[in-house]
Amino acid sequence: MEITAFLDRKLARRFRTYDVDGDGFIEREDFTQAGTRTTKAFGLAADDPKAVRFHDMLIGLWDQLSSVTNREPGGRISLDEYKKAFADGLLETPESFDAGYVPFLDAVMAIADEDGDGKLTCEEHVRWTGALMNLSEADARGIHDLLSDEDGLLSTHALLEAIREFYFSEDPAKAGNWLLGSLD
């Protein structure tokens, strides 16, 4: 897959959500800490089945990135290596992307959708995106407003569509391309 200039900017923005310490690399520990922050934000104990599933999904994502970039499980991945991983197969088609991403989104929703109705309130959305991806409250509220229904709720389906747009759309006007806020 060719990484366009627009996708390059989006991947760089996504990389920064993983690189919490800003050292220019992502590591397994970044994924572990993101999982802990997220499950704690929703009051889950480390041994709660939802928390365990979520942590396993994050580590699975890390393991996949490590294998695609030919890194040891404890190694570090640079921004260029991260982008190359996407070019080399992580974004082959929307269907192959879904096969890997839908289970992850299901694990997120199991934690963030506190009443289990398949929809996120604005507060739930702000909490999980802040904890997992360090998204600012203003950015999280803005994307929630763009994607939510007339009742102010964001469905799993709408969120998945936005995530697909983020990775596959070249149209800057599509709401999903603002999923993580500004690309600057």
Q: How far apart are CA 20 and CA 134, in angstroms?
A: 8
pLDDT of residue 71: 64
Amino acid type, 26: I
**This prediction's pTM:** 0.89
Position 27 in a domain: yes
- Phi-psi label, residue 155: left if phi above 0, alpha if psi -120 to 50, beta otherwise: beta
Q: Which tens digit of pLDDT belongs to each residue from 14-51? A: 999 999 889 999 999 999 999 999 999 999 999 999 99
Q: How far apart are CA 38 and CA 163, in angstroms?
A: 19
Structural domain range at position 121: 5-178
Q: Name the 3-class secondary structure at 78.
A: strand
pLDDT of residue 99: 80
Total structural domains in the chain?
A: 1
CATH of the domain at 15: 1.10.238.10
Say if CB 85 and CB 68 are below 8 A apart.
Answer: yes
Q: Which tens digit of pLDDT belongs to each residue from 138-169? A: 999 999 999 999 999 999 999 999 999 998 89
Position 183 in a domain: no
Closest CA to 159 of 115, 114, 184, 122: 122
Position 15 in a domain: yes
Say if CB 63 and CB 73 are below 8 A apart.
Answer: yes
**Beta-carbon count within 10 A of 149 CB:** 10
Position 184 in a domain: no
